Amino acid sequence: MDHLAHVSNQPNSQPQSQISHLALDIGGSLIKLVYFCRYDDNCRDDDELRSQNESLGSESDNSRPVLGGKLHFAKFETSKINDCLEFIHSMKLHLGGFHDCTAPSSDKIFIKATGGGAYKFADLFKEKLGVSLDKEDEMECLVTGANFLLKAVHQEAFTYLDGQKEFAQIDPNDLYPYLLVNIGSGVSMIKVDGDGKFERVSGTSLGGGTFWGLGRLLTKCKNFDELLELSHQGNNRVIDMLVGDIYGGTDYAKIGLSATTIASSFGKAISDNKGLVDYKPEDISRSLLRMISNNIGQISYLNALRFGLKRIFFAGFFIRGHAYTMDTISVAVNFWSKGEAEAMFLRHEGFLGALGAFMSYEKQCLDGLTVNKIPQRFPISVSSAGNKIYCSMNGKSNDNESIECTVYRT
Ligand SMILES: Nc1ncnc2c1ncn2[C@@H]1O[C@H](COP(=O)(O)OP(=O)(O)OP(=O)(O)O)[C@@H](O)[C@H]1O
Ligand SMILES: CC(C)(CO)[C@@H](O)C(=O)NCCC(=O)O
């Protein structure tokens, strides 16, 4: 990896017109990247961009040069941080930071970063890429990212129950308070009362890392998606002890428990005279997924109840847009709250922290970039070194999870 160091201090090697800003969220399991890149001039012609621009709303101004770009999202396993460094280096993303305006003569580049890895890997970034990580608080970034997505991105939040996905209409003026549950390696529960107004009210160590860690040990799956995929075909009743198993097939109606309710996750494994090899990996995966999801759903509901919150937004890469995970969480919230509270999910579930770090560039002066909220169709405005960029987050993210942006040069 030493070969990365030789370009580390060449901020001017990036063409002036190539606007590209990078922010990182380095978590216990995954590194998340958000960066803005304008299209290559050859990618799209001006007419195409102008017609796209016209479709965006009344604020469009055809007299200004229009550039197109994308807000890109990428992720890497934290254990493979070298792949991430290679990627940043090959894309020259490390040059998309800011210079310390209090020391104008310095060519030191700072990249916005959040998550525990912003501390743990600061020296590695310095050594391999020659950049310093400007650390932003993880909880603050999660909240900034969530508020931005919920207010600015069309069809960002949705409910999921009984296999039905329904986009939620979020009124930006009636968003607070809500509970944000970020399911990463561990789980943070944050009561959000406004922009920058929040409190981390609870958390649990039984999170995504637990599911993936135990699942790996018990099933020999090689990657997270394989484990998740496996759960599709599994039957948790083979391993979980149900109320009916204890009550001879009947409900315990007096306390509201049906025969099919899980009485004890993995409980059958104690009574059966079986070893690990006697259980199918898919059944293990299914039980594990239900155990973790149910538990998070229940703790979330209890915290929502504690503060009288009706809306709970679930985020973090544990969810992975996975139907069974979302269904289990929704059922748990619905069951415990007797229908009073609602579980919602976010399309950019895993990128809240990285988006929050990206938006924190607005705190920097001069050649940093500013991110303002602009109403309706132009929710994000980024200005950098004289260029003003209006990103229209129209909600149509592609397979790479990037978001199209229209850019005006001023
Ligand atoms: N490709 C993957 N590799 C590993 N874990 C994955 C993958 N995809 C999804 N996950 C799940 O997502 C979790 C990590 O989610 P996320 O990136 O939101 O958290 P994190 O920032 O790494 O953790 P923390 O915030 O606790 O430091 C993993 O623990 C795992 O359950
Ligand atoms: C430690 C963090 C905040 C790191 O992202 C996360 O993994 C977490 O919230 N874990 C749960 C810790 C607890 O509250 O028990």
Structure confidence by residue, pLDDT tens digits, 368-406:
343 333 333 333 444 333 334 444 444 444 334 555 544
Residues 311 and 379 both lie in one domain: no
DSSP assignment, residue 320?
Answer: T
Atom of ligand 1 nearest to the CA of 26: 21
**pLDDT classification of 18: cutoffs 50, 70, 90:** low
3-state secondary structure string, 271-311?
A: HCCCCHHHCCHHHHHHHHHHHHHHHHHHHHHHHHHHHCCCE
Helices marked H in 308-393: 323-337, 352-359
Position 39 scores a pLDDT of 65
Quick check: 201 and 193 in contact, CB under 8 A? Answer: no
Q: For residue 350, is pLDDT > 50?
A: yes
Residue 54 within any structural domain of the chain? yes
Position 258 scores a pLDDT of 97
Residues 132 and 167 both lie in one domain: no
**pLDDT classification of 105: cutoffs 50, 70, 90:** low
Instruction: Looking at the CA of 80, name the nearest ligand.
Output: 1
Dihedral over alpha carbons 146, 152, 153, 158 (to 10 degrees)? 60
Q: Does residue 116's CB lie within 6 angstroms of at least one atom of ligand 2?
A: yes
Residue 274 within any structural domain of the chain? no
Which residue, judged by its Cα, is nearest atom 15 of ligand 2?
A: 204
Q: Does residue 392's CB lie within 6 angstroms of at least one atom of ligand 2?
A: no
Residue 287 within any structural domain of the chain? yes
Residues 8 and 118 both lie in one domain: yes
Q: Does residue 185's CB lie within 6 angstroms of at least one atom of ligand 2?
A: yes
Residue 307 within any structural domain of the chain? yes
Q: What are phi and psi of 337, to 5 degrees?
A: -90, 0
What average pLDDT does this structure show over 103-111? 77
User: Could you report the per-residue pLDDT of 36-87, keeping only the tens digit for each?
Assistant: 877 664 334 344 443 443 332 233 444 445 555 678 899 999 999 999 999 9
Which DSSP string do the residues of 173-218 spell out, in sequence order? Answer: GG--SEEEEEESSSEEEEEEEETTEEEEEEEES-SHHHHHHHHHHH
Residue 178 within any structural domain of the chain? yes
Residues 182 and 311 both lie in one domain: yes
Q: Token pair 């400007």 is at which residue?
A: 134
Which residue, judged by its Cα, is nearest atom 6 of ligand 2?
A: 186
Q: For residue 241, is pLDDT > 70?
A: yes
Residues 182 and 301 both lie in one domain: yes
Residue 73 within any structural domain of the chain? yes
Q: For residue 293, is pLDDT > 80?
A: yes
The C-alpha atoms of residue 140 and residue 178 are separated, in whole angstroms, by 15
From 295, 324, 346, give the residue that closes a domain. Answer: 346
Position 152 scores a pLDDT of 86
Beta bridge partners of 99: 109
Residues 181 and 38 both lie in one domain: no
Residues 205 and 325 both lie in one domain: yes
**Cβ neighbours, 10 Å, residue 282:** 19
Separation of 322 CA from ligand 1 center, angstroms? 14
From 346, 367, 388, give the residue that closes a domain. Answer: 346
Mean pLDDT is lowest, of 40-54, 141-155, 164-178, 351-365, for 40-54
Mean pLDDT is lowest, of 55-69, 122-136, 257-271, 346-360, for 55-69
- Overall number of domains in the chain: 2
Residues 333 and 355 both lie in one domain: no
Computed over every residue of the chain, the mean pLDDT equals 82
Separation of 31 CA from ligand 1 center, angstroms? 8
Residue 375 within any structural domain of the chain? yes
Which of 65-74, 97-106, 148-157, 236-245 is most confident?
236-245
Position 403 scores a pLDDT of 58
Q: Does residue 215's CB lie within 6 angstroms of at least one atom of ligand 1?
A: no
Residues 73 and 19 both lie in one domain: yes
The C-alpha atoms of residue 166 and residue 168 are separated, in whole angstroms, by 6
ipTM value of the model? 0.99
Beta bridge partners of 174: none
- Residue 53: give the domain boundaries: 2-139+351-408
Q: For residue 121, is pLDDT > 70?
A: yes
CB within 8 Å of 386: residues ≥ 6 apart: 410
Q: Is this model's pTM higher than 0.90 or not? A: no
Quick check: 146 and 123 in contact, CB under 8 A? Answer: no
Residues 301 and 330 both lie in one domain: yes
Map residue 41 onto helix, strand or coil: coil
Residues 90 and 182 both lie in one domain: no
Residues 325 and 397 both lie in one domain: no
**Burial class of residue 401 (count of CB atoms within 10 Å of its CB; 0-12, 13-18, 19+):** middle
Residue of higher predicted confidence among 131 and 376: 131
From 330, 346, 362, give the residue that closes a domain. Answer: 346
What average pLDDT does this structure show over 214-243? 97
Q: Does residue 204's CB lie within 6 angstroms of at least one atom of ligand 2?
A: yes
CATH number for the domain that contains residue 393: 3.30.420.40
